């Protein structure tokens, strides 16, 4: 009986105050006695049982069901959000942010705006309230919680998890945890919180402005441009950005490498990246060492599909390109005698020795990653003059390797060793470790801004824009 009285008082006060709030006032004729009578007709069914039952039934429709269940369990299954938001007119504030989410390239339908409005109105009728007021209140409460969490996480972490979209994505990317989500549901100053989570980076704001102003990219329709802006806004929301003062950034569609120090680009150069089918992965790691005059351990796929075929057509190809052949770790003295068309190439290993013909050039930059890729020099410099530079087997070829080494090592003994070894007429492979590892990030942005804030667009060479946009639409 005591619990029933508490519930009656709660809804009487809640809706009595709600009628005094201009923007969300219910229809005329809603009075506290009518409310109390409607609740009383519901019977003695325990409010917590209704809450638990509705939560169980609606669980599959909620954005973060585990976090929501944990939160309401701590609140003894009471509608704490709408009791606070409706009395202070903050529910309308929340809806206004949801309705304006298109400025972030997102669809308001993602946050159930229409559904929330309908459920709120269902609490009011001209001649009183619905008899099923308990369930109506709980459904509104849960939808508000679900949409608030989805909006909060979308703006701070992105709507999608990039690792679930692209199997070639290996950049550490933070995801929202339950502790953060519980804090969101405890927010009291809703407008202040919603303003605080608006991304404020220059690139993000520039892309937002371009989306709002319907800027059209060269050689793209307006619709294609808008899609490009939307997917790149999503990428900018992902929590995968470097926090270090100094790092190397390669942007695949731009075919460009930059060394960034304290927010300023101190070095730029062209790069070649993986061709379609042999894509360079997106990743985050740390460059810890270089190998000057490197040995190229030729991957099995390249040995099988390319090297052995060249050797089959020209028996001196291996010797002319300084490639040694091994079987079970033992060097083959006369690989010219091998009939590569008949042999099982997989039982052999191939290593190209240091020299001017080496495909890795004079130096490679090493960092741990799951794809066995690295940055390296190349003897084929003409490729950097091509506008389309997706031509490698997955590793990144750099235009000015010695300048990159200088930017990483800075002037000193180790840099002079690198410079001398690269210029040597008698090249020998040598590892030289960085005094301090430097982060490297390989990214995929198809639009960016330059130093003057002008918008730049790049081709979607791997089709990742299309894949991401389709996922945003499905979501």
Q: What residues act catalytically?
A: 376, 395
Query: What does each C-alpha distance from 182 to 83, 140, 156, 410, 475 come to in angstroms?
Result: 17, 18, 15, 46, 23
What is the total residue count of the chain?
475
Q: Are 171 and 441 in contact (CB under 8 A)?
A: yes
Q: Which of 145, 21, 137, 19 is nearest to 94 (CA)?
A: 145
Residues with Cβ within 8 Å of residue 431, at least 6 apart in sequence: 289, 290, 291, 292
Give, in order, the Cα–Cα distances in Å from 276 to each of 100, 137, 394, 398.
38, 53, 9, 19
Phi-psi region of 124 (alpha: psi -120 to 50; beta: other; left: phi over 0): beta
291 within 8 A of 309, measured Cβ to Cβ: no
DSSP state at residue 391: E
Task: From residue 438, give the alpha-carbon distance in Å to each of 32, 248, 259, 268.
Answer: 66, 7, 10, 16
455 neighbors 206 (Cβ within 8 angstroms):
yes
What is the Cα–Cα distance from 168 to 465, expressed in whole angstroms? 14
How many helical (H) and strand (E) elements, i.e. helices and strands, does the chain have?
A: 18, 16
């Amino acid at each position: 009986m005591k619990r029933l009285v508490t519930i009656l008082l709660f809804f009487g006060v809640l809706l009595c105050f709600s009628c005094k709030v201009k923007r969300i006032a219910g229809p005329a004729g809603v009075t506290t006695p009518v409310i109390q009578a409607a609740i009383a007709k519901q019977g003695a069914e325990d409010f917590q049982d209704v809450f638990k039952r509705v939560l169980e039934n609606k669980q599959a429709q909620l954005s973060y069901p585990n976090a929501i269940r944990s939160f309401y369990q701590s609140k003894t299954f009471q509608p704490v959000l709408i009791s606070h938001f409706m009395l202070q007119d903050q529910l309308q504030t929340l809806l206004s942010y949801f309705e304006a989410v298109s400025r972030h390239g997102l669809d308001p339908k993602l946050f159930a705006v229409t559904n929330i409005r309908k459920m709120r109105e269902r609490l009011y009728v001209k001649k009183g309230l619905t008899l099923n007021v308990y369930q109506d209140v709980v459904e509104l409460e849960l939808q508000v919680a679900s949409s608030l969490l989805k909006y909060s996480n979308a703006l701070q972490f992105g709507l999608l998890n990039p690792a679930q979209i692209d199997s070639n994505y290996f950049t550490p990317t933070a995801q929202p945890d339950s502790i953060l989500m519980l804090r969101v549901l405890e927010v009291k100053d809703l407008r202040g919180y919603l303003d605080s989570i608006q991304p404020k980076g220059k690139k993000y704001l520039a892309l937002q402005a371009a989306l709002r102003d319907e800027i059209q990219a060269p050689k793209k329709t307006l619709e294609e441009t808008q899609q490009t802006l939307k997917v790149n806004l999503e990428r900018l929301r992902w929590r995968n950005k470097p926090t270090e003062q100094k790092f190397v950034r390669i942007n695949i569609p731009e075919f460009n490498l930059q060394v960034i120090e304290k927010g300023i680009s101190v070095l730029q150069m062209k790069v070649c990246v993986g061709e379609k089918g042999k894509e360079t992965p997106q990743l985050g790691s740390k460059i810890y060492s270089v190998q000057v005059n490197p040995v190229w351990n030729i991957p099995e796929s390249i040995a099988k599909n390319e090297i052995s075929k060249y050797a089959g057509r020209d028996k001196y190809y291996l010797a002319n390109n300084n490639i040694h052949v091994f079987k079970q770790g033992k060097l083959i003295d006369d690989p010219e005698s091998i009939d590569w068309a008949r042999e099982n190439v997989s039982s052999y290993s191939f290593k190209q020795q240091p020299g001017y013909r080496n495909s890795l050039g004079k130096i490679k930059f090493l960092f741990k990653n799951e794809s066995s890729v690295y940055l390296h020099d190349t003897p084929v410099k003409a490729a950097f003059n091509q506008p389309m530079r997706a031509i490698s087997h997955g590793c990144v070829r750099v235009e000015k390797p010695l300048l990159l080494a200088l930017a990483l090592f800075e002037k000193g003994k180790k840099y002079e060793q690198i410079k001398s070894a690269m210029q040597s007429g008698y090249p020998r492979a040598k590892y030289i470790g960085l005094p301090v590892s430097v982060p490297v990030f390989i990214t995929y942005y198809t639009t960016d801004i330059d130093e003057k804030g002008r918008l730049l667009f790049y081709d979607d060479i791997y089709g990742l824009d299309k894949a991401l946009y389709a996922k945003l639409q499905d979501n």
